Structures are given as structure tokens and as C-alpha cells.
Amino acid sequence: MSATPPRSTESTAFRSALDVIRGVEPRVADAIGQELADQREMLKLIASENYASPATLLAMGNWFSDKYAEGTVGRRFYAGCRNVDTVEALAAEHARELFGAQHAYAQPHSGIDANLVAFWAILADRVEAPALAAAGVRNVNDLSDADWAELRSAFGNQRMLGMSLDAGGHLTHGFRPNISGKMFDQRSYGTDPATGLIDYEALRAQAREFKPLVIVAGYSAYPRLVNFRIMREIADEVGATLMVDMAHFAGLVAGKVLTGDFDPVPHAQIVTTTTHKSLRGPRGGMVLCDDSLKDQVDRGCPMVLGGPLPHVMAAKAVALAEARRPDFQDYAQRVVDNARALAEGLMRRGATLVTGGTDNHLNLIDVASSYGLTGRQAEAALLDSGVVTNRNAIPADPNGAWYTSGIRIGTPALTTRGLGGAEMDEIAALIVTVLSATEQGKTSKGAVSKAQHVLDEKTSDEVARRASDLVAGFPLYPGVDLS
């Protein structure tokens, strides 16, 4: 959040915008103002959230929203897109430079959308293109009905190997309730039960046996590093395309904390991300790929995406420009340092962490074995106490994906506010105080409940007060005064 305009400029910009909105629907203006007030008071530890800069936020609220721009830069299905071309090209250029990618596609609206673009790019490259070549045609419209039926069936019969949800993978990596699990014949790789770490040799054996078309690496709740060089080696060995979903750790890649074997971009043929998590941009998605998949990726809209959101692409360009500054590298390092400080503070006070610590921006507390709680009970007790986290499954979770046995805590947002190691230790103390004082509740019939918890008000009020005092020392959007 450095190098922003003087405070008065930001206040004027946001206050004027709210005045205009208030003139039409005051309740919306009030809700926007209240959201800032709420966020200022929250001790936000949700690993997938952050605070975008005022410049990024302002780039989203304008007339770019009024423009249709299907197609790609310089090749649109609508007239009048020269300014959209400018911002989309800038977003892609910043992304290519920042991540060292051959190609960047800035149109996806979210991480799920980015993954869908990637899946269909791989299917187009690996399944459709060979079918067209075999039939001697250039376009699916030129296939005979029989060849088209065969190709459609082939699309739905491809194999994917992705990380299981309870090991920290994402639901779009082939989880059956998600479209990815319905499109692909998926098998999951998990983690070693003894260490909680990815076992690359077990994964290699599974890949050799299953022979997937796609191997998906990446996670939303795995607190350790992934070796993408080894993942690519395994993919090459079995003829799979390596796709990495770096949504959670894109900021650590951009900030050069994850380099070499741990940077997915030089290793994977295709990499997807969101732009709003550790990368600290607007809510949205993006795909990076090597030139071999460029044309397929660029067909994302209208293949699986609705019209691009030019206002969000403008904000992506701003946020990516910010991430190219040297201070972003300092930020990314502090995110990891803070996660480690939090881990140490928690473990020193007796909490059990999945894998016994962290190498990235997140920690996963096993609240079932540490405190006899479900994730849902722990999440609710912490929220009562002003600490915002989210529950998450842990490997071989006895409480399933709804109640869970884990709490996921991440440091990107609080690091943006400027909190450091001393504050992380204080937060660890607050979390342990709450979880130690919380007990399982009862259902209306007197049975032990997985949802209800009991926490005395004195503890929750005291922790909430300490949490609020803690964040008050690190003002959020200090240049924005709406009063």
C-alpha cells in the first residue's frame, strides 16, 4: 500500500463516489461505508483474502464496465474497443514480465473460470486438435456427425490426477460435486499420513499406473512448498500436461519468495491464478501458459467465459504494476515470515499444526486433536472473539468437508496492514485462549453437536477487545477518511 497518492486525494475520491451513489440508493452507499468500517475492525486471517490498493479499487469503478469486448486484443467481436485493448494488453504485459511467462490471458473472472479455460485449452490441444487432423478438417463444424459424436465422447473420458480436497487441493481439481469432477475421470493424490507432505514417489507410481492426460498441482490448504520440477518430470514421464493452480501463492511467486523448483511458471505448461489473494489485486482470475497453448487459452471467451470485464482488467493491470515494484518482494517475504511466527506462537502454546508448521502464507490448525472441537465450532468461537478465520478439512478428516477438523489461517491481509512477528505471537495467544476455553455444545436432544459450541462471554469479549486494540494500531486504508 505504499506509493499511493496523498491522503486527501484518496479521501476525496472515495467520498465523492459515495456521495454520487448516495444520491441514488443511500442504503448501498451506507453498506459500502460500513464494509470499510467492518474490515478496519476485523482481525482477518482468511488465507485467501487481502486488501487491494486504493488505485486498484478505483480502477474498477468506472465506465469500462459498460463495454463489451469479446475476443482478444486487436481482434474483437465488437467495435470501439481500443481502450479495452490498452488495459488488457497492459495487464498481460505486466503479468508476462512479473512471472516470466510466454503468454498471459487476463480475462477470467475468477479462479474457477481460469481453471475451466485451462482445462478446455488442454482438451483442445490434446484431444480436439489430433481429431481434427485425423479427419483432415480445420474446424469442429466440418466434422461428420459420427466424428463429432466420437470427439464429444472423448472430451468426457479423459483422466486427471489432482490433489485431494482433504490434503489441501481445491474443489476444481476434480472433486466430483464440481464441474471438473464431472468432466474428467479423476483420481486424487494425497499426502503422506506420517508427515502430511506430498510423497512424490507415491505420486509418480500413481501417475504411471493411471496415465492421466492432466496432472493438476497447486492447493488452497497445504502449508508447505511444492516441487514443480519434480511434478513436471512425473508429468513428462507419463505424457501428461502439467497444470498448476497457483491462486493461493501467486503473490509469493510474484514477490520472488518461491523461486527455482518452487516457481511453477518455468515448469508447468499452463498456470492459473486468481488475482485477489496473496497477489493483492482485484477479484478475478488469469491464465499463464507457454506459446504451445496460447491460441487455445485465448479462446476462453466465449468458450467458457462470458464477456470480459474491462474494468477488472484495468484493475489487474494496476495491481500487477504494483507487484512489479521492489516493495512487493519485501511484502511477500513478510507474509511468509509472519506465517512462520504465527506457527511458532501456536505450537509453543500447544496447538497441533498439520505438517508441524508452514513454508508459505498459511497454517492449518488441527482443532480436533488439539482441542476436541470441529472446525465449525472453532471457527464460530473465534468469530465470536473478533478473529476471522475459516474452517477447513485436514488429511483423512474424521469430520468431513462440512464440519471439518481444521482451521485455516493466513497472513496476506494482516501483513498488508503492517502487522509483524510480535503481533503474530499475540494473535497466536488470542487463538489459543479462545480454543482452549471452547467446548462442544449439545443438540436440542442433548447429544454432542458438531455445530454448536460453548464459550464464556468474558473470554470472547476480552479476546475481541484485545484483537480490536491490536488492529487499531495498524490502520487500514489510512488515506481514506469517510467521516
Site of interaction with ligand DSN (CB under 6 A): 48, 111, 170, 220
Residue 165, annotated as binding a ligand = yes
**What are the strands of the beta sheet with 214-218, ordered from one edge?**
103-105, 285-289, 270-274, 241-245, 214-218, 159-163, 185-189
Q: Report residue 138 as a C-alpha cell.
A: 480445420
* CB-CB neighbours of 65 under 10 Å: 12
* CB-CB neighbours of 442 under 10 Å: 12
Q: Say whether 70 is catalytic.
A: yes
Query: Could you say which of 4, 67, 70, 229 is catalytic?
Result: 70
* Least Cβ distance, residue 220 to ligand DSN (angstroms): 4
* Least Cβ distance, residue 75 to ligand DSN (angstroms): 31
Sign of CA dihedral 333, 337, 340, 346: negative
Task: Decide: residue 39, CB within 10 A, 0-12 exposed, 13-18 middle, 19+ buried.
Answer: middle
Q: Say whether 457 is catalytic.
A: no
Q: Say whether 245 is catalytic.
A: yes
* Least Cβ distance, residue 48 to ligand DSN (angstroms): 3
Query: Could you say which of 88, 113, 125, 245 is catalytic?
Result: 245
Q: Say whether 290 is catalytic.
A: no
Q: Say whether 274 is catalytic.
A: yes
Residues 228 and 236: beta-carbon distance below 8 Å: no
* Least Cβ distance, residue 133 to ligand DSN (angstroms): 36
Residue 171, annotated as binding a ligand = yes
Query: Could you say which of 68, 187, 295, 439 is catalytic?
Result: 68
Q: How far apart are the first and last CA of the chain?
A: 21
Q: 170 or 466: whose CB is closer to ligand DSN?
A: 170
Query: Could you say which of 272, 274, 275, 358 is catalytic?
Result: 274
Residue 288, annotated as binding a ligand = no
Task: Decide: residue 290, CB within 10 A, 0-12 exposed, 13-18 middle, 19+ buried.
Answer: middle
Q: 29 or 353: whose CB is closer to ligand DSN?
A: 353
* CB-CB neighbours of 329 under 10 Å: 15
Q: 54 or 111: whose CB is closer to ligand DSN?
A: 111
Nearest to 169 by CA among 215, 113, 236, 201: 215
* Least Cβ distance, residue 417 to ligand DSN (angstroms): 19
Q: 54 or 375: whose CB is closer to ligand DSN?
A: 375
Task: Report CA-CA distances (Å) from 14 to 30, 33, 247, 312, 458.
Answer: 13, 10, 29, 18, 38
Q: 74 or 400: whose CB is closer to ligand DSN?
A: 400
Residue 23, annotated as binding a ligand = no
Chain residue whose CB lies nearest ligand DSN? 48
Residues 354 and 374: beta-carbon distance below 8 Å: no
Provide the annotated active-site residues: 68, 70, 245, 274, 277, 283
Query: Which residues carry a binding-site annotation for (6S)-5,6,7,8-tetrahydrofolate?
Result: 165, 169-171
Residues annotated within the binding site are 165, 169-171
